[in-house]
Structure 1
């Protein structure tokens, strides 16, 4: 009887789905000594692309990219970006070889991962954290290769907030339109002023565990088994 009870309890626990473990990684960090307000703090909006070397992402092949985040270092807080569309793809153009024409850098697996109006940028980080986080509504399955983040940002209510960036870099490169001209077909390509970026990966196919999620049913199942087990012991 005791063995049967143990089997039932363990079977109940085994029935809970596995959960994805978040794995954040900071990429595009060369010196991190500069600040750049583009593309998140502009007058009239901007088109921005930044590519990251596959060499920085070898441990995340086959996983879902589901969030990017940035570190604010100076300027206004609590302002809004009027509109924001973010796409992700793997690019044939590695850092150092980005085309000045935006369309030439986009891969065949291009996915719109974020599309929202009135995006709020919060307070500057006091702990060195990446507080400006953009969780994706559609995750991007990373299958290897150089990773391109493509941003189409509307104008913002502040054009004076800066984000952690590099004076120069070799594992990442950007191309950006003129400020106020997000519809331009191309822009300036450079390795200077690239943003230090935190990428968040989760295992593909596994549901994410939200704080507090699944705790109650798991606790209830465990408590039920323990109570029943103790009752069986008492009855003997």
Structure 2
């Protein structure tokens, strides 16, 4: 019996695969820790990139607001216009100046304002500081919810949609006519859009529609930082999903 035991022990010592369960578990744990550490480091790096994108986006918008405000702050009161810091929207708020009620032709006074405003506006946006970051320059036309009072709500919405779309196209036409530089005009054409929004974004006061304030034209800037952040988040989500499989 002793000889058989000795033979078995000698056989185990010579077998390279004879590892204890504890040693195997320790090895697996070490591999898991290394994988986890690598994943956490990569996610930390990606999170820092996300934070950097967001900070760059915030700084860009703030600087653009400051430059637009510096350029137009003396003109905004006489234009009946406001510059929104959060949305980078320059809003013309006096409907009697913009269009005749129910009409889409740009009125003379508003045409004069556009001639003063728009060349200066696109000069800032197309400057080396911002040019590569501008994704879209939106002209938005907004109406109140009413029409003549005889149509139902849905019909009024569609009639106002047609009206707001025609108005923004005419504002776009008037705006482009103020640009003499062919290269600048080409750049503006590549970025600018006309968006008639009917009564979809009403201005409310104490929960009640402010019909006069709802009738407005806005020039709004959209930067490509939004797309960069969205693309980064998409890659990050895909990476997390792959790690969880």
Pick the TM interval, shorter chain: 0.3 to 0.5
* TM-score (structure 1 length as normaliser): 0.37
Asked which structure has the greater RCO (Cα within 8 Å, sep 6+), the reply is 1
Larger Rg: 2
Which has the larger helix fraction? Answer: 2
